[in-house]
């Protein structure tokens, strides 16, 4: 728009129409999301999906955008090809294609801005195809391990929006691995110990990615892949709350507790084409009957042939074996400490190490007592809350700062990172400081000078915390 007619025709025929055609019937569903991901790559900001057009216009007019409309549209066209290959599964490389399908299966849409930027480096031959494959899989393993460990996903969009900044081009893959490995708190890449501990106790049967999990376990190192959609999930120890006397005897006097604890866990689940025949039969019958575990071609059933009783000990043993296998499928980065040291000294960690609570001159006597009472309540909001001492204020954050405390002589001045108009402030304690110069992050300011005001202030802090934990 706004271009001469000849240029409009050139832009449409050379870029826009081919781009629309590549999305095909999915154009209306996918295109706005692609532009959003593209803008995240280019600006580092995450626009709301309803504001994509306005954000796009702002980007085009920005001094950092290409200097002609044709260059802008050509760049969008290039990145749209990457997006189509990933999201609509048109990638020509078979291994990358499978990885992108797994990303889609796990619904890791938030990773696309990061992967778009990496795809561009791959297209420009900055990295090899093997490195690109490994990076895509690292993203998959990162998100899946977190899902197994029940780590909240709220902040993943921001994590992936900024992840590309950590890449050192001279050590591309190593720097990504190091960044993943050094993440802590709510961002962490679960270690083998955490992953194995959580996968054995998780309710896998009601897990959203159950089929993805079982498919990968079954098809590890298989050349002839098993389509698990052709099978049903079998509870080795039956779901029936009225277990037969034979099952009760096999489990022991605590049979009901054992059933409740292990019923839906990975150690008690397998695949079968004989679900109705197996039903609630005793374990030995499930093994030896026609089509039973002893005859099954399913690898998940292989170890069952060597077990004579199905009880708590047997379930725990199988769970442990599967957990070891899972840790080898969904691999965590494991760089040695001497390599990690190169990546530890970021500006943020330098600042965090440099300052302590002792530097704040007004944190003494009554103000120090008030601060400790407030600090305790803030840290108790959620295990993910982190505390960082800055030069002039103390920050509390999850995905980003939700409250900053500036110690003053007769009060603690609090900056809440939430829009003033979104605050529910029945007592009128908040002040709109948007556009004003203040230490700390946020548009809302409130002060606290005594313990008596703690409950009212925590009501406001909770709102800022909730706003930061919401998905963009």
Place of tokens 């802590």: 184
Q: Which of 240-249, 260-269, 288-297, 344-353 has the lowest mean pLDDT?
A: 344-353
User: What pLDDT is attached to residue 414?
Assistant: 94
Question: How, if at all, do strands 431-432 and 444-448 pair?
Answer: antiparallel
Q: How many CA atoms lie within 13 A of 163 on its CB side?
A: 33
More confident residue, 129 or 222: 129
Terminal Cα distance for the chain, rounded? 30
User: What pLDDT is attached to residue 44?
Assistant: 86
The DSSP annotation for 52-84 comes to: HHHHHHHHHHSTTS-SSHHHHHHHHHHHHHHHH
Contact 299, 222 (CB under 8 A): yes
Torsions phi, psi of 23, nearest 5? -75, -25
Q: Average pLDDT, stretch 17-33?
A: 90
Torsions phi, psi of 416, nearest 5? -105, 130
pLDDT interval class at 184 (50, 70, 90): confident
How far apart CA 260 and CA 263 sit, in angstroms, is: 6
User: What pLDDT is attached to residue 350?
Assistant: 46
| Token pair recorded at residue 16 | 């826009």
Q: How many CA atoms lie within 13 A of 249 on its CB side?
A: 5
pLDDT for 279 beyond 90: no
Q: Average pLDDT, stretch 345-359?
A: 62
pLDDT for 351 beyond 60: no
User: What pLDDT is attached to residue 356?
Assistant: 84
How does the average pLDDT of the chain come out, rounded?
A: 90
Contact 231, 269 (CB under 8 A): no
Torsions phi, psi of 397, nearest 5? -145, 160
Under 8 Å CB-to-CB from 218, ≥6 apart: which residues?
Answer: 226, 228, 271, 298, 299, 300
How far apart CA 78 and CA 200 sit, in angstroms, is: 44
Render pLDDT for 283-338 as a digit per residue (tens, 0 to 9). Answer: 999 999 998 999 999 999 999 989 999 999 999 999 999 999 999 999 999 999 99
How far apart CA 31 and CA 102 sit, in angstroms, is: 21
pLDDT for 383 beyond 90: no
Contact 418, 467 (CB under 8 A): yes
User: What pLDDT is attached to residue 281?
Assistant: 92
Torsions phi, psi of 399, nearest 5? -70, -40
Helix (H, G, I), strand (E, B) or coil at 389: strand
Q: Average pLDDT, stretch 75-91?
A: 96
User: What pLDDT is attached to residue 232?
Assistant: 94
pTM of this prediction? Answer: 0.76
Please tell me what DSSP assigns to residue 3: S
User: What pLDDT is attached to residue 198?
Assistant: 97
pLDDT interval class at 29 (50, 70, 90): confident
User: What pLDDT is attached to residue 439?
Assistant: 62
Q: For the chain, how many residues are written?
A: 472
User: What pLDDT is attached to residue 327?
Assistant: 97
Render pLDDT for 110-139 as a digit per residue (tens, 0 to 9). Answer: 999 999 999 999 999 999 999 999 999 999
| Token pair recorded at residue 39 | 């803008």
| Token pair recorded at residue 427 | 């007592």
| Token pair recorded at residue 47 | 């626009």
Question: Percentage of the chain surpassing pLDDT 70?
Answer: 96
Under 8 Å CB-to-CB from 197, ≥6 apart: which residues?
Answer: none
pLDDT for 352 beyond 90: no
Instruction: Give the C-alpha distances (Å, rounded to integers) separating 244 from 115, 241, 323.
Output: 52, 9, 30
User: What pLDDT is attached to residue 186?
Assistant: 80
């Amino acid at each position: 728009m706004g271009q001469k007619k000849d240029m409009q025709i050139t832009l449409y025929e050379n870029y826009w129409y081919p781009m629309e055609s590549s999305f095909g019937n999915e154009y209306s569903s996918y295109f706005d999301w692609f532009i959003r991901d593209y803008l995240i790559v280019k600006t580092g900001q995450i626009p709301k999906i309803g504001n994509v057009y306005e954000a796009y216009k702002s980007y085009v007019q920005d001094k950092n955008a290409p200097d002609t409309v044709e260059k802008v549209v050509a760049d969008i066209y290039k990145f749209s090809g990457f997006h189509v290959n990933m999201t609509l599964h048109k990638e020509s490389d078979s291994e990358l294609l499978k990885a992108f399908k797994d990303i889609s299966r796990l619904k890791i849409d938030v990773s696309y801005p990061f992967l778009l930027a990496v795809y561009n480096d791959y297209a420009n031959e900055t990295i090899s195809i093997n490195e690109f494959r490994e990076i895509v899989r690292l993203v998959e393993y990162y998100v899946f391990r977190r899902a197994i460990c029940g780590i909240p996903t709220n902040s993943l969009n921001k994590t992936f929006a900024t992840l590309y900044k950590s890449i050192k081009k001279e050590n591309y893959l190593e720097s990504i691995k190091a960044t993943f490995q050094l993440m802590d708190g709510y961002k962490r890449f679960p270690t083998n110990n955490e992953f194995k501990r959580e996968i054995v106790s998780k309710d896998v049967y009601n897990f959203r990615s159950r089929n993805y999990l079982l498919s990968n376990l079954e098809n590890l190192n298989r050349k002839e892949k098993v389509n698990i959609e052709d099978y049903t999930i079998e509870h080795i120890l039956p779901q029936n709350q009225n277990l037969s006397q034979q099952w009760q005897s096999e489990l022991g006097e605590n049979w009901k507790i054992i059933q409740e604890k292990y019923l839906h866990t990975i150690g008690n689940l397998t695949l079968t084409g004989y679900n109705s025949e197996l039903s609630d039969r005793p374990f030995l019958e499930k093994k030896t009957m026609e089509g039973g575990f002893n005859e099954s071609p399913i690898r998940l059933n292989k170890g069952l042939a060597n077990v004579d009783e199905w009880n708590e000990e047997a379930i725990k043993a199988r769970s442990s074996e599967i957990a070891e296998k899972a840790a080898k499928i969904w691999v965590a980065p494991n760089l040695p400490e001497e390599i990690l040291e190169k990546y530890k000294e970021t500006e943020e960690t330098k600042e965090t190490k440099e300052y302590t609570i002792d530097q704040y001159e007004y944190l003494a006597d009554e103000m120090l007592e008030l601060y400790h009472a407030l600090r305790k309540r803030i840290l108790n909001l959620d295990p993910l809350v982190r505390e960082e001492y800055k030069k002039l204020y103390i920050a509390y954050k999850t995905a980003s700062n939700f409250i900053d405390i500036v110690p003053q002589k007769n009060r603690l001045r609090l900056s809440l990172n939430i829009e003033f108009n979104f605050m529910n402030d029945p007592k009128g304690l908040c002040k709109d400081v948007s556009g004003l110069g203040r230490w700390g992050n946020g548009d809302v300011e409130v002060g606290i000078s005594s313990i008596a005001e703690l409950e009212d202030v925590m009501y406001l802090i909770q709102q800022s915390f909730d706003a930061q934990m919401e998905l963009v």
